Amino acid sequence: MNRTLQNFSVAVLTCAFLSGCASNSDRTATQSNFVTTPPSDAQIENSVTQQVSMMLEAFTPIAGQALPNKSVLDAYAFRDYEPIWVEKKQLNPAIYKLVDTLESARSHGLNPVHYHLETIKEYLSLKSATSQQLAELDVITTIALASFAHDLSIGRYEPQLIDPNWRLDAPSKDWQNLLFLDSPSDMVNYLPTLAPRQPDYQVLQNWLVFYQETAQKEGDIRVTPGIPLRLGDEGPRVAQLRARLVQLGDIRFSTRKTNEDLFDQPLKDALIRFQRRHQLDMDGAAGPQTIKSLNVSLETRAKQIAYNLERWRWLPSQIEDNRIWVDLTNYQADIHLNGQTENMKVVIGKPDRKTNVFYGKMTYMVANPTWRVPMRIARENLLPKIQQDPEYLAKNNYKVFSSWSIGAKQLNPSHIDWKKIEPENLRYRFEQQADEENALGAYKFMFPNKFDIYLHDTPAKHLFNRSERAYSSGCVRLEKPDSLANLLVSNSPRRQQQLQEARNSGQTKVISLEEPLPVYLVYFTVVPNANGMPEFRQDIYDRDSLMEEAMGYSPFPARNSF
């Protein structure tokens, strides 16, 4: 999955044209090469017709991605198999602009190797070209264009093949429109518009280029491990610390003369900025964990950014203005509704009970909800507590039913010998009634999904005081559910009255929303902070390692491992 594309059998292609290659030709010379003994238009068109099916067959998809070969076939059929890049026996100049664009694919965290760049260059370096070679060049260039358009628009990889818990994927066919534009120039010019337009994507892309260029020009400046460095310390390790913070952008260039070896207050301030954006203790001292983070290579940081650019490409091209955005790695929910914004802390699933990444539409909320305990939680959590304390169900206001079927009979839990029940044989349904100790608290907010995940209140308020908040069984607990409930009914006096009546009575009440509200549960390990600096977060679900395995991404051409 993470190796180079199994090209049109590179050996076959190489044999087809290497005898005529002039790899050092410049573009002017190359363009003139194609007019030495030009084949006729009919010869080229006939060759294109022959080559399309054969080359599309050769450029087969590989695991983890879906190459857009059918769209290429449709594009040629739409043109009656006329060549796209060869016009009047000449190469359209747009092909060279496309080469430049493919060269820059790495700035998006994509690898030019996947777009047959070197093969295209080999064809372009021919001293003269037969009709078959021109047809091959035309088709492989169109395949490269289509593949890059696809990957730039909706991502190269299928997210569910990388991470089965990742179900947020917004495939779109808009990129295919590019293949049906009037001219190659229009196609190439359209490419940049396919990249995500969200500001976070664009900022991360700039930082990726920064890390790539800095690594190539300077290499990594390392801070020698040792005793913690603090305000007032002096020595060469302080100078290393200062130089690394300058390299990473936490210290801006200044003409003011500085004692490089002195740990002064500006250096401490810069170090705190670094610690904040790497989720470290912000003590302003360079201890072991801070130095370890400082010494993470530029190449590794570039890879992390690339993984998150791909995650952005999996999102819809347009994000709704009204939405709930649950940022799992930041343990925060951002509610945008009717021009108002509310932010609150959240508690998410434990690493062994990950909160899925997906998109849903909230359609109703329940005030004073009962909790129907999921079977997994009943077997793994609830049953051991009942076996240890036979009164646990009564103390915590649970009802027991004979099965999960509609109309199942309510049972007396004291008549059941719980100690004889093995977890895998547990078939009862448990429901915790609405009260202050209900696991769902006073509210649950429903966006129906197959994962049975929703947003809800919680009686365990103390968990919101912790910086890392992965403690739930998968659902998302909200710090300020009252505020969300108020926002959801803010434009409807009737629903406001329903909500207030439920609060006063303590009775379970379902309140439908006026319109479905999009809910995004997202996972990013690198995001721009408020100052536009990259914030590297803890990979709490170890999802970056899955990205690395799938993508095999190398951010620098010289170290390409494909």
Catalytic annotation, residues: 456, 475
Are the CB atoms for 140 and 120 separated by under 8 Å? yes
The 3-state DSSP class for residue 456 equals: strand
Tell how many helices (H) and how many strands (E) occur in the chain: 20, 17
Which are the contacts of 130, defined by CB distance < 8 A and separation ≥ 6?
A: 39
Place of tokens 């076939």: 73
Q: How far is CA 440 from CA 338, 408, 425, 467, in A?
A: 26, 23, 26, 22
Per-residue buried b or exposed e for 517-528, using 16+ beta carbons within 10 Å of the residue's own CB: bbbbbbbbbbbb
Beta strands in 350-414 (DSSP E): 358-367, 371-372, 398-401, 410-411
Beta strand pairing status for 455-456 and 476-478? parallel
Q: Residue 90's closest CA among 179, 184, 16?
A: 184
Here the tokens at position 196 are 């995500």
Residue from 359, 343, 323 nearest 479 by CA: 343
Q: Which SS3 state, helix, strand or coil, does residue 460 take?
A: coil
The residue assigned the tokens 């573009």 is 27
